């Protein structure tokens, strides 16, 4: 398989750690993109210095050309048209790709999506399955069309996960590996014409939305299971936090570790705004 995959001239669209997990599995099998497309560098950290995406760093470390368009407009389309690419692969890119781009490669554009489509379409499928208390999820490989996560399915694989311990960060890492290995199995069959794409059942579709920092706030008086799901679903970003009053001021307190015991959310370690991490019991004192 390795010898065969090296001849595929494809562009990879991706930006975050899920994308990196997929790329790692592709690289193991001999797939390396001829071109990488990712979102532009963004301000990050306290100093708000411009920082590249993990995918840009991965590509530059392998001397793979990188494009970081702000807009997927006619000029960008012309850039991709200039080279005859066979396939586009998309995994957690972060922008909606117009049909004018999806139709460029001969074999279309394939998307690795971390849910069992048509459930959990959209930007936050991993968070969605944790928030809703699902006991299984998976990955889907679809042939993309102009609608979000709507295209026909080429392959799917289910995985079970621990609904009481596994966080979004941990589940994302496993799904990336699952998605990458499934893609490696799917690509030779797709190029050989052995796969008949199956249309999604739109009536069963559910949609997730973009998150904001404000989604991470929790009310400690809410149901313990609900709050624990939020803690696990929002691990990494946006994180979970609550507000407390100290010295006449409203202070944001970020939750670092927590457990669910007999239906109650038990906070273990927190970071009060402007301070270092402390045990929750010490914060209360």
Sign of the dihedral through C-alpha 242, 243, 245, 250? positive
On whether the CB atoms of residues 153 and 142 are closer than 8 A, the answer is yes
- 114-128, 141-155, 157-171: which range is least confident on average? 157-171
In the chain, the N- to C-terminal Cα span, in Å, equals 61
Distances (CA, A) of 125 to 21, 39, 206: 16, 20, 10
What span, in angstroms and rounded, lies between the C-alpha atoms of 85 and 82? Answer: 9
User: Top-level CATH class of 213-284?
Assistant: alpha beta
Statement: residue 164 has pLDDT above 90: no
What span, in angstroms and rounded, lies between the C-alpha atoms of 11 and 146? Answer: 18
| Segment 232-249, tens digit of pLDDT | 999 999 999 999 988 888
Boundaries of every domain in the chain: 2-207, 213-284
Q: Can you name the residues that pair with 208 across neighbouring β-strands?
A: 122
Statement: residue 2 has pLDDT above 70: no
pTM given for the model: 0.93
User: Top-level CATH class of 2-207?
Assistant: alpha beta
For the chain, what is the HEC assignment? CHHHHCCCCEEEEECCHHHHHHHHHHHHCCCCCCEEECCCCEEECCCCEEECCHHHHHHHHCCCCEECCCCCCHHHHHHHHCCCCCEEEEECCCCCCCHHHHCCCCCCEEEEECCCCCCCEECCHHHHHHHCCCCEEEEEEEECCCCCCCCCEEEEEEEECCCCCCCHHHHHHHHHHHHHHHHHHHHHHHHCCCCCCECCCHHHCCEECCCCHHHHECCCCCCHHHHHHHHHHCCCCCCCEEEEEECCEEEEEEEEEEEEECCEEEEEEEEECCCCCEEHHHHHC
Statement: residue 4 has pLDDT above 60: no
pLDDT at 224: 97
Distances (CA, A) of 172 to 47, 128, 148, 247: 28, 12, 20, 40
What span, in angstroms and rounded, lies between the C-alpha atoms of 24 and 181? Answer: 9
Q: Read off the pLDDT of each residue in 147-165 and give the average, rounded to a whole number.
A: 94
What proportion of the chain, given as a percentage, has pLDDT over 90? 90
pLDDT at 5: 41
| Segment 179-223, tens digit of pLDDT | 999 999 999 999 999 999 999 999 999 999 999 999 999 999 999
What span, in angstroms and rounded, lies between the C-alpha atoms of 224 and 157? Answer: 31
Q: What angle is formed at CA 120 by the lines to CA 116 and CA 123, rounded to 5 degrees?
A: 120
């Amino acid at each position: 398989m390795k010898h065969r995959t090296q001849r595929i001239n494809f562009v990879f669209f991706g930006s975050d750690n899920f994308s990196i997990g997929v790329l790692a599995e592709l690289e193991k099998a001999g797939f390396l993109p001829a071109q990488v497309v990712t979102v532009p560098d963004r301000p990050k950290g306290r100093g708000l210095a411009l920082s590249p995406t993990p995918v840009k760093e991965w590509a530059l470390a392998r001397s793979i050309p990188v494009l970081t368009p702000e807009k997927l407009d006619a000029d960008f389309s012309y850039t991709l048209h200039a080279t005859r690419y066979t396939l586009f692969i998309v995994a957690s890119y972060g922008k909606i790709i117009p049909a004018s781009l999806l139709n460029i490669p001969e074999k279309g554009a394939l998307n690795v999506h971390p849910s069992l489509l048509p459930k959990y379409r959209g930007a936050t499928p991993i968070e969605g399955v944790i928030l809703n208390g699902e006991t299984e999820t998976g990955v889907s490989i679809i042939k993309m069309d102009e609608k979000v996560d709507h295209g026909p399915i080429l392959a799917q694989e289910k995985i079970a996960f621990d609904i009481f311990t596994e966080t979004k960060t941990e589940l994302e890492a496993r799904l990336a590996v699952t998605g990458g290995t499934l893609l490696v199995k799917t690509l030779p069959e797709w190029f050989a014409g052995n796969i008949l794409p199956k249309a999604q059942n739109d009536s069963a579709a559910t949609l997730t939305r973009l998150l904001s920092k404000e989604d991470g706030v929790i009310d400690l008086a809410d149901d313990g299971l609900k709050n624990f799901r939020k803690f696990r679903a929002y691990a990494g970003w946006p994180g979970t936090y609550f507000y407390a009053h100290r010295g006449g001021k409203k202070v944001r307190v970020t939750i670092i570790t927590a457990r669910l015991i007999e239906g109650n959310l038990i906070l273990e370690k927190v970071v009060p705004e402007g301070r270092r991490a402390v045990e929750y019991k010490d914060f209360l004192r």
